[in-house]
């Protein structure tokens, strides 16, 4: 039953050739000529592919990015940070846990002088 209905629908719809012939016959110049304009869309297709690639790369980056948002409670004295569970932890540990950032450690000149006053001049050179 369904096959007959589809056959009737296909027969009632004009074919592409019939549609083109109807347009040629109705051409405004009266000569029945079909005028066709062709354009090369290679550049547009390449630009679309490049755009799709950039979108895919950005979506992949969004999956891997961890960001810190909002306010972070930090101690004014020791600079420890209160985490989501309410515990205090070192700032570098907190940031490492919430981002992809990694830390290296060293001492600034002020801390070298405070922690190692006897060797500070040997390490940093004489203070001017």
pLDDT tops 90 at residue 55: yes
Residue 10 has pLDDT above 60, yes or no: no
In a domain, 46, yes or no: no
Say if 72 falls within a structural domain. Answer: no
Partner residues linked to 82 by β-bridges: 88
Q: How far apart are CA 79 and CA 72, in angstroms?
A: 11
Assess if residue 55 is contained within a domain.
no
- The stretches of the chain forming alpha helices (DSSP H) are 2-12, 16-25, 42-64, 91-98, 109-115, 120-124
pLDDT one-digit tens code per residue, 82-113: 988 899 999 888 888 888 888 888 888 989 88
Number of domains in the chain: 2
Residue 6 lies in a domain: yes
Residue written as token pair 């799709």: 52
69 within domain boundaries: no
Tell whether 87 is covered by a domain: yes
Selected residue with higher pLDDT from 42 and 31: 42
Which structural domain range is residue 112 located in? 81-124
Classify residue 30: in a domain, yes or no. Answer: yes
Which token pair is 120?
A: 């500070």
Please check whether residue 53 lies inside any domain of the structure: no
Report the 10 Å Cβ neighbour count for 113: 16
Please give the model's pTM, rounded to 2 decimal places: 0.39
């Amino acid at each position: 039953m369904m096959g007959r209905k589809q056959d009737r629908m296909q027969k009632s719809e004009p074919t592409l050739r019939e549609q083109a012939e109807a347009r040629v016959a109705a051409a405004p110049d009266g000569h029945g000529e079909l005028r066709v304009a062709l354009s090369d869309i290679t550049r547009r297709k390449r630009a679309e592919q490049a755009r799709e690639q950039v979108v895919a790369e950005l979506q992949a980056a969004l999956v891997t990015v961890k960001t810190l948002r909002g306010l972070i409670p930090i101690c004014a004295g020791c600079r420890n940070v209160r985490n989501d569970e309410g515990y205090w932890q070192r700032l570098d540990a907190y940031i490492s846990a919430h981002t992809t950032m990694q830390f290296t450690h060293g001492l600034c000149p002020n801390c070298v002088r405070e922690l190692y006053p006897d060797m500070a001049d040997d390490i940093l050179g004489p203070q001017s």
